[in-house]
Amino acid sequence: MSFIADKQTLEDLNLLGKYKPYSIYSLFNKAATTGGERKLESMFQHPLTDAEAINQRSKIFQYFQQKALTFPFTREEIGIVEDFLGAGSGNILSAGVGAMRKKLMSTLVRDEAYGILQTGVQTVINVLNGLIDLLGKLEEPESPTLREFGRPFQEEVNLLKKILGDRRLSGLRQEKGVTQLPLLKVARYDHLFRQVLAEEMETIMEQIYRLDVFIAVSNVARTKGFGYAQALPGENRILRAAALSHPGLEKAVANPISLHQDSNMLFLTGANMAGKSTFMKSFGIAVYMAHMGFPVAASEMVFSIRDGIYSSINVPDNLALGLSHFYAEVLRVKKVAEEVAAGKNLVVIFDELFKGTNVKDAYDATLAVTESFSQYRNCFFIISTHIIEVGETLRERCDNLQFAYLPTVMDGNVPRYTYKMERGITTDRHGMMIIENENILTILATEEGLKLKLHSN
């Protein structure tokens, strides 16, 4: 089963997009190769739903993070190898004749084909020698810190060592650092790399791309101080994180969260700019990244596997379909309701439900929908609202809700936001004070403004 995260959720959490500003993908995309980028993108597009597979991938990242390796190849080198291997080759005779022809043409008419062939062969040799050196670092005796991971990449290491240990590649180390190969060696290696060991070379390149991803992502995690999540089977129904923050923010304020079957819904209140949306996005991103087996912006995290995640944070209207903002919100809630009612184990994030309608309808709808969703204890919910009166009623009716708020601290008439979550329901009502601080009413009451008003009448 694939992990569910629809387009709206991916947009809300800004997860994908190589060229999208501040996307989570771009945060981790420090890959040195285009093949590594493709593998990274595939991991982002296909989160896992098997706890063992998630924990295994997570261990690999942690292992490489402790190793603190540098990827030994440049994008240019790998590009030359890709072009060389992709060109194909014939039998040994045709490879030799082709090499001789290219060398002759390079002498007679300065044709570049032989130089390209020589460069291709030498670059493959250099990359293979660099890979042997890298595998040697992975085979070094482990520190006590690293022993706990049990060398989770060892299967791949053994596969590469088997290929590189082929007797036909026994001369690779002697060619290390050689700048010019004789014609017959060029022909031999050309045939060997592109014909005899074509499948093995494809396997090597795939593993190089994987090494690129594991080294790049783990180095980001080490630089940013990210942690890792432990996956549990879905029936445990636990989702707990310590010091959770937004991975894209520098000096982000961290908050804890703990949800379980008997307390599976967080009802969040707070003023605008207090940090509700940022916290909800942080939570959603962590859930998604945890299912990828990737680093998370938390000091620790334990979670039960979910079937997917749905969010409703920035739901747009749709003028082409004639949908108002409110009706778009309603359709979004309906979609999530259908999925929840179908028995799926989901994480659901609703930021300010029904803000597109009047206060009375928003109160009634938020209360009714939240109360109905609370019956599904196999799912985890975070629901935020400005309508704090809803929280008081829900406190009386539901026993599985947590109540938290992000406070506003007033320095005189100036609001200050701590971004630290506190338990309870906020009583902050500072909207008019902020409007007055911006002198909106004063601007409208200026002499010039009054003249314009009188003139219009």
Three-state SS at 425: coil
To the nearest whole percent, how much of the chain has pLDDT over 90? 63
Q: What is the pLDDT of residue 110?
A: 46
Residue 14 within a domain: no
Q: Which residue has the tokens 């594991």?
A: 214
- Residue that is last in its domain, among 191, 224, 257: 224
Q: Burial letters for 440-455: b for 16+ Cβ neighbours within 10 Å, e otherwise?
A: eeeeeeeeeeeeeeee
Residue 405 within a domain: yes
- Phi/psi region, residue 270 (left: phi>0; alpha: psi -120 to 50; beta: rest), is left
End-to-end CA distance of the chain: 66
Number of domains in the chain: 2
Q: What is the pLDDT of residue 144?
A: 73
Q: What is the DSSP letter of 169?
A: G
Q: In this predicted model, which residue has the larger pLDDT, 409 or 291? A: 291
Q: What is the DSSP letter of 190?
A: H
- Is residue 268 domain-shared with residue 353, that is, in the same domain? yes
CA distance 200 to 181: 23
Residue 450 within a domain: no
Helix H or strand E segment including 40? helix 34-45
Q: In this predicted model, which residue has the larger pLDDT, 150 or 231? A: 231
Please report which confidence band the pLDDT of residue 111 belongs to, taking 50, 70 and 90 as the band edges: very low
The domain that holds 293 is classified in CATH as 3.40.50.300
Q: Which of 247-251, 395-399, 452-456 has the lowest mean pLDDT?
A: 452-456
- Is residue 162 domain-shared with residue 278, that is, in the same domain? no
What letter represents residue 4's amino acid? I
Q: What is the mean pLDDT of residues 107-126?
A: 75
pLDDT tens digits, 287-322 = 999 999 999 999 999 999 999 999 998 766 555 554
Q: What is the mean pLDDT of residues 52-78?
A: 95
Q: Is 397 exposed, middle or buried (0-12, 13-18, 19+ CB in 10 A)?
A: exposed
- Is residue 81 domain-shared with residue 213, that is, in the same domain? yes
Q: What is the pLDDT of residue 423?
A: 95
- Is residue 211 domain-shared with residue 275, that is, in the same domain? no
Residue 432 within a domain: no
Q: What is the pLDDT of residue 146?
A: 73
Q: What is the mean pLDDT of residues 10-14?
A: 95
Q: Is 194 exposed, middle or buried (0-12, 13-18, 19+ CB in 10 A)?
A: buried
Residue 91 structure tokens: 């039998």
pLDDT averaged over the chain?
A: 87
Q: What is the mean pLDDT of residues 28-50?
A: 96
Q: What is the mean pLDDT of residues 336-358?
A: 91
- Nearest 5°: the CA angle 285, 289, 291 is 125
Q: Which residue has the tokens 């460069």?
A: 119
Residue 359 structure tokens: 């206060």
> What number of residues does the chain have?
457
Phi, psi dihedral angles at 252 (to 5 degrees): -65, 145
Q: pTM, whole model, 2 decimals?
A: 0.89
- The yes-or-no verdict on residue 197 having pLDDT over 90 is yes
Three-state SS at 415: strand
What letter represents residue 56's amino acid? Q
Q: Which residue has the tokens 């680093």?
A: 295
Q: Which of 133-137, 193-197, 327-331 has the lowest mean pLDDT?
A: 327-331
Q: In this predicted model, which residue has the larger pLDDT, 427 or 303? A: 303
CB 430 within 8 A of CB 274: no
Q: Which of 183-187, 214-218, 367-371 has the lowest mean pLDDT?
A: 183-187
Q: What is the pLDDT of residue 447?
A: 58
